[in-house]
Amino acid sequence: MNTSLIINLTYIFSAFLFILGLKKLGSPATARKGNLLSSVGMLTAILVTLISKDIVSFKWIMLGMGLGTIIGIAGARLISMTSMPEMVAVLNGFGGIASLFVGWAAYLGNPQLNTFSATTIIISILIGGITFTGSFIAWAKLKEVMTGKPIMFPGQQVVNSLIILGVIAASVLFIRDPNAGLHFLWIVIGVSFLLGVMVVIPIGGADMPVVISLLNSYSGIAACAAGFVMQNNLLIVAGSLVGASGIILTNIMCKAMNRSLSNVLFSGFGSGSSAGSEIEGEAKPINVEDTFMILEAASTVCVVPGYGMAVAQAQHTVRELAEQLEENGCEVKFAIHPVAGRMPGHMNVLLAEANVPYEQLFEMDDVNPIMESVDVCMVIGANDVVNPAAREDEKSPIYGMPVINVDKAQTVIVLKRSLGTGFAGIQNPLFFKDNTRMLLGDAKGSVQGLVAEFKN
């Protein structure tokens, strides 16, 4: 059989595994299998590419794969779930810089380029550079290495516009004469790094999940462009899948916040402002013993997890509490907001890690219609996604954002360290409503106390 045909058939098989794996990632029950299928597809693609192109010594390839495997295992084992958004941002950045290196290497290997090849190289380098530095700024904001507030200065939009015009001009000059355009290529590389920083620093930390999703899409587009540079069909397919899925996820998250992508990127939301109407009322604290008595008498309990649960690493204890409630004859549901946590699917992954049954996880649109019939709604570390100001206060920055209507439950118990604002920096009137009780303190310790009460 023709060698070229075997290679292309193998690429088609790898692409099939990518698509099947992506499909299985849509459900927590099959996500692990989907990840494995995609990994097998990528390994198959790498091996057949190395066999078909005798361009690098295999010992260096094996060394690289070995180091990558060690780093991947260490990252999976040692990095906590609370740091997963930062890890995703870093991985996006490395994907971007890899595409930049591919474009750069393709030019150095053959400066005599036609217009199409020169254009794909510029796209690969430009998007790769933006993704690299933009991802590390997102990492720094999430890690709180730098402030999560939008960093803005007078004339910033003018400066950004001039940077964009400059990179377009340098790109056009390079494409016109790639053989003599090395200095223009250097300009594009440098400006792409700068542009990545400039487009992310004005975005508030509360919007970083959307930014991470968008940068993930950028890394896919950069990989797709690198596929055109290398004339590799599989890399084009893989990059297109990542780019398209990233854009779809970004759109879903924007809809979940009732905001446009342009509003996320350019509005400076998430600056820590406590704007909104003045909140009246007084918070009503409750202790573990009294909370137990309320839960013990409940027939239905809805748990709404948030980033605070992740910080406290309370997911396993929460699952244990849910089991105790079910043994007591209570129906338990988990309500998941699309943007709860600091990355898409953050809460789903945490609860799956704790072996919470998939059938107990419900989306916001499924629980809101039945919330008035819920006896007790437990909010564990969530804030902005349960803020009733999104429905009631037209002055609130999040007005119009779909939220989980926990305030409509018969009783609301909020587990939180303090009455402070959430990641968006907005006060939550839920804490002061008549049917709300505040169980203040470490969420894990509070839930452990409740579990102990049930066992006793």
User: Would you please indicate which residues are annotated as catalytic (active-site) residues?
Assistant: 384
d(CA 126, CA 222): 8
Which residues have a Cβ under 8 Å from the Cβ of 330 and sit 6 or more positions away? 295, 298, 299, 300, 301
Q: How far apart are CA 378 and CA 34, in angstroms?
A: 32
| Spatial contact of 438 and 287, defined as CB atoms under 8 Å apart | no
Residue 161, CA atoms < 13 Å, CB-side half-sphere: 5
Is residue 173 packed enough to be buried (19+ CB in 10 Å), middle (13-18) or exposed (0-12)?
middle
CA distance 64 to 94: 14
Question: What is the C-alpha separation between 180 and 138, in angstroms, rounded?
Answer: 36
DSSP class per residue in 4-45: HHHHHHHHHHHHHHHHHHHHHTTSTTTHHHHHHHHHHHHHHH
Amino acid at 26: G
Q: To which residue do tokens 């106390």 refer?
A: 449
- Amino acid found at 20: L
Residue 346 CB contacts under 8 Å (≥ 6 apart), including other chains:
81, 84, 85, 209, 307, 310, 340
Q: Report the C-alpha gap between 227 and 220 in whole angstroms.
A: 10
Strands (E), 350-452: 361-363, 376-380, 411-416, 436-440
Give the whole-angstrom CA distance, residue 19 versus residue 332: 34
**Spatial distance between the Cα atoms of 192 and 163, rounded to a whole number of angstroms:** 9
Measured CA distances, 233 to 10, 134, 228 (Å)? 11, 27, 8
